[in-house]
């Protein structure tokens, strides 16, 4: 139960509406509460900095949509207004293909534009936008100011980052424990998700380029220390041999140390019998040194190694009661210790971690050209066309019915047409069921609650339930329906439960019809675009590893990007595969391509670890690479995809 998000939801829309009612400005309160409600839908777990971006960007887009919708609705007739809204749908749909934040921004842009054009309020468009933005800003203030329960013992500003980094070490331990078993693939995917989440949490927007506090520098260093551990764990899982249980104990202790800020204690050292285990042992020693340097502060000075309780370089101490000569607890060989700690900055592992922690966690900075390619590419065009057609058609139908408050129909269509919320038919059924349930629940409350205080309390309760309801589309729809109907009544409109049910069912029918119509160009453009991006990332990673370059920071960044692109492609493929056959057939065979790419990146990681250890590849590595590249060509051809880069095949 996300209690902190529940508290924020209760303190967001309800209090804003109450303050406006007490001031005699109900319509202002409705706009502010709408802004807070839509911001609450985007209030997901994570760090505070990423919350600013995740909530603020859609809030700005919603404010812009209110301005455009209000002035267009006041000055244009039905036909030009529909054309304007359709153009907005095309733009917002294309931008939504960029990523989750852009998708949220496109949704709020269109929903707010429909509300601005169809909801009669006395305030001009700029005032509506200002109060809408104030509602979203109020939730951001709550997100930044309220500490997470149990986080006050540390610097609560970074509790989200701390949890994310600890989850990475836990995921590494789970992958090591699953090596050689059927769950290894799923654990590797879970590690990718944990690394993505931690990377986003630490790379959120900031005023300064580099970390400005010791707590943030420590977390960035701990994340960087996890990258070689993740690399070694992936290589060991690729080898397919089961590992002793104590192999996963070190990352688990590091995870506890990140969460609590306490010393990690002695770290069990794995037997250095194969390259993967030697890489894991080196990475564990490096992590222990990193945690030591980033230990607790006393009087502005580091407390030193005694605080960490970690394994000392070159020592032969007992580990967990077993001698250093134990089969699975052998300490690092003295020559390896000397190589690893021969000097600051001379060891590639240490140098790469320092560069990663200091210069940033992303391979490339944001580029406008890459954004434009995504927006105007196959995925953006297909998505934009669908959104524009559904949004424009629903706006035209709503106005043709001469309904006074017609904004509900296009606003509902916006949520229904978004493929990142699930398969089309599933979205429609859940939206219909959630709306019916929410309308019935609200009708029951509206018959007995005093006005307006009872409705304001209902808004506050609904806001508190949104973070829980976001786990299921039907539940989210039901809660949002109750909240919006309460806001509408506080704003002076009559109870409208039954008309909302009819409009929702009509929107469901429109989206179902439009969603299955033939489209210009090739369907499945979003899946194909993401697979192409994943192929390019895998190619860049493989080329770097086979080139023999010793830049660990660049290699880890390339590996992170390859796995991230693969995860995005896999998610798009899974959603497309769950559609009805008329839509799912356009992406047949793409799951095989993604699986081959995943095996290729795993093999590349194993090659990198082996090259670090011996300087050359075995026949198993080269034969596996050649087999996977041949399979990739065949599978892409069967799926109707373009050939992979020629230099990838010649690698």
> What's the rounded mean pLDDT across residues 266-289?
86
Residue percentage of the chain with pLDDT more than 90: 23
Per-residue pLDDT band at 173 (split at 50, 70, 90): very high
> What's the rounded mean pLDDT across residues 213-240?
88
Answer whether 460's CB lies under 8 Å from 13's CB: yes
> Which residues are CB-contacts of 450 (< 8 A; sequence separation ≥ 6)?
none
> What's the rounded mean pLDDT across residues 365-376?
71
> Which residues are CB-contacts of 154 (< 8 A; sequence separation ≥ 6)?
162, 215, 261
Q: How far apart are CA 380 and CA 339, in angstroms?
A: 50
Query: What is the SS3 assignment for 447?
Result: helix
- Is residue 57 over pLDDT 70? yes
The predicted pLDDT at position 294 comes to: 61
Query: What is the SS3 assignment for 229?
Result: helix
Per-residue pLDDT band at 138 (split at 50, 70, 90): very high
Q: Which residues of 96-132 are buried (b: 16+ CB within 10 A; e: fewer)?
A: bbbeebbbbbbbbbbbbbbbbbbbebebebebbbbbb
> Which residues are CB-contacts of 273 (< 8 A; sequence separation ≥ 6)?
none
The predicted pLDDT at position 335 comes to: 37
- Could you tell me which residues are beta bridge partners of residue 297? 302
> Which residues are CB-contacts of 622 (< 8 A; sequence separation ≥ 6)?
none
- Is residue 127 over pLDDT 60? yes
Per-residue pLDDT band at 121 (split at 50, 70, 90): confident
- Is residue 612 over pLDDT 70? yes
Residue percentage of the chain with pLDDT more than 70: 84
pLDDT digits (tens, 9 = 90+) for 305-334: 333 333 443 332 333 433 333 333 333 333
Q: How far apart are CA 486 and CA 444, in angstroms?
A: 12
The predicted pLDDT at position 378 comes to: 74
Q: How far apart are CA 202 and CA 160, in angstroms?
A: 9
The predicted pLDDT at position 494 comes to: 67
Kind and range of the H or E run holding 123: none
- Which residue from 616, 606, 565 is spatially nearest to 230, judged by alpha carbons? 606
Half-sphere exposure of 203 (CA within 13 A, CB side): 18
Kind and range of the H or E run holding 302: strand 301-302
Specify the length of the chain in residues.
Answer: 651
Sign of CA dihedral 221, 225, 227, 228: positive
Answer whether 419's CB lies under 8 Å from 383's CB: yes
- Is residue 67 over pLDDT 70? yes
Q: How far apart are CA 61 and CA 129, in angstroms?
A: 10
User: In Å, what is the CA distance from 333 to each residue of 135, 325, 336, 614?
Assistant: 60, 11, 5, 16
- Which residue from 244, 235, 229 is spatially nearest to 168, judged by alpha carbons? 229
pLDDT digits (tens, 9 = 90+) for 391-402: 999 999 988 887
Phi, psi torsion values for 297, nearest 5 degrees: -100, 135
The predicted pLDDT at position 431 comes to: 87
Lowest-confidence pick of 134-143, 506-515, 599-608 = 506-515
- Is residue 252 over pLDDT 70? yes
- Is residue 273 over pLDDT 90? no
DSSP string, 16-75: HHHHHHHTT-HHHHHHHHHHHHHHHHT--SS-HHHHHHHHHHHHHHHHHHHHHHHHHHHH
Q: How far apart are CA 249 and CA 259, in angstroms?
A: 16
- Which residue from 384, 385, 390, 469 is spatially nearest to 434, judged by alpha carbons? 469
For 149, the token pair is 């329960």
Q: What is the CB neighbour count within 10 angstroms for residue 444?
A: 11
- Is residue 297 over pLDDT 50? no
Q: What is the CB neighbour count within 10 angstroms for residue 472?
A: 13
């Amino acid at each position: 139960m996300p209690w902190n998000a529940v508290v924020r939801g209760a303190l967001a829309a309800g209090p804003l509406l109450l303050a406006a009612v007490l001031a005699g400005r109900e319509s202002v309160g409705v706009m502010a509460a709408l802004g807070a409600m839509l911001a609450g839908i985007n209030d997901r777990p994570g760090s505070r900095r990423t919350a600013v971006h995740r909530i603020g960007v859609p809030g700005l887009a919603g404010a812009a949509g209110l301005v455009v919708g209000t002035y267009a609705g006041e000055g244009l007739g039905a036909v030009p207004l529909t054309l304007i809204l359709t153009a907005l749908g095309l733009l917002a749909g294309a931008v939504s293909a960029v990523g989750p934040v852009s998708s949220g921004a496109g949704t709020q842009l269109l929903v707010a534009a429909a509300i601005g054009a169809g909801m009669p309020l006395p305030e001009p468009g700029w005032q509506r936008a200002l109060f809408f933005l104030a509602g979203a800003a109020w939730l951001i203030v709550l997100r930044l100011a309220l500490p997470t329960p149990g986080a006050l013992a540390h610097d609560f500003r970074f509790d989200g980052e701390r949890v994310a980094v600890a989850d990475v070490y836990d995921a590494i331990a789970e992958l090591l424990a699953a090596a050689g078993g059927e769950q290894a693939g799923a654990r590797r995917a879970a590690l990718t998700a944990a690394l993505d989440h931690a990377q986003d949490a630490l790379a959120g927007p900031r005023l300064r380029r580099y970390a400005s506090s010791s707590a943030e520098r420590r977390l960035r260093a701990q994340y960087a220390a996890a990258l070689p551990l993740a690399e070694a764990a992936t290589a060991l899982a690729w080898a397919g041999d089961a590992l002793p249980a104590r192999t996963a104990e070190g990352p688990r202790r590091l995870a506890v140390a990140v969460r609590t800020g306490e010393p990690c204690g002695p770290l069990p050292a794995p037997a250095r019998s194969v390259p993967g285990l030697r890489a894991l042992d080196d990475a564990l020693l490096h992590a222990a040194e990193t945690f030591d340097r980033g230990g607790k502060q006393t009087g502005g000075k580091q407390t030193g190694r005694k605080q960490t309780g970690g394994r000392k370089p070159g020592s032969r101490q007992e580990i967990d009661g077993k001698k250093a000569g134990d089969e699975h607890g052998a300490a690092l060989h003295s020559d390896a210790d000397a190589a690893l700690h021969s000097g600051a900055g001379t060891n590639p592992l240490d140098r790469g971690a320092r560069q990663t922690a200091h210069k940033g966690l992303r391979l490339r900075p944001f580029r406008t050209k890459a954004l434009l390619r995504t927006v105007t590419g196959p995925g953006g065009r297909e998505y934009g066309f669908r959104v524009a057609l559904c949004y424009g058609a629903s706006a035209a139908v709503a106005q043709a019915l001469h309904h006074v408050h017609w904004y509900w129909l296009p606003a509902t269509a916006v949520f229904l047409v978004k493929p990142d919320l699930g398969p089309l038919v599933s979205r429609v059924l859940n939206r219909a069921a959630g709306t019916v349930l929410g309308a019935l629940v609200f009708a029951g409350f509206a018959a007995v609650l005093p006005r307006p205080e009872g409705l304001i309390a209902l808004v506050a309760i609904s806001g508190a339930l949104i973070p829980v309801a976001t786990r299921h589309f039907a539940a989210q729809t039901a809660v949002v329906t109750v909240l919006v109907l309460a806001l509408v009544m506080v704003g002076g409109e009559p109870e409208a439960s039954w008309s909302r049910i009819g409009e929702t069912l009509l929107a469901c029918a429109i989206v179902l019809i439009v969603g299955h119509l033939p489209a210009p160009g090739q369907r499945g453009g979003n899946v194909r675009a993401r697979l192409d991006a994943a192929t390019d990332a895998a190619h860049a990673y493989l080329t770097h590893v086979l080139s023999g370059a010793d830049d660990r920071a660049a290699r880890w960044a390339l590996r992170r990007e390859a796995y991230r692109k693969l995860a995005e492609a896999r998610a798009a493929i899974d959603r497309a595969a769950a559609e009805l056959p008329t839509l799912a057939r356009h992406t047949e065979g793409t799951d095989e391509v993604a699986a081959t790419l995943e095996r290729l990146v795993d093999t590349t990681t194993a090659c990198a670890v082996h090259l670090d250890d011996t300087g050359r590849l075995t026949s198993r590595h080269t034969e596996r690479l050649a087999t996977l590249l041949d399979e990739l060509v065949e599978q892409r051809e069967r799926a109707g995809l373009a050939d992979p880069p020629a230099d990838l095949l010649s690698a």
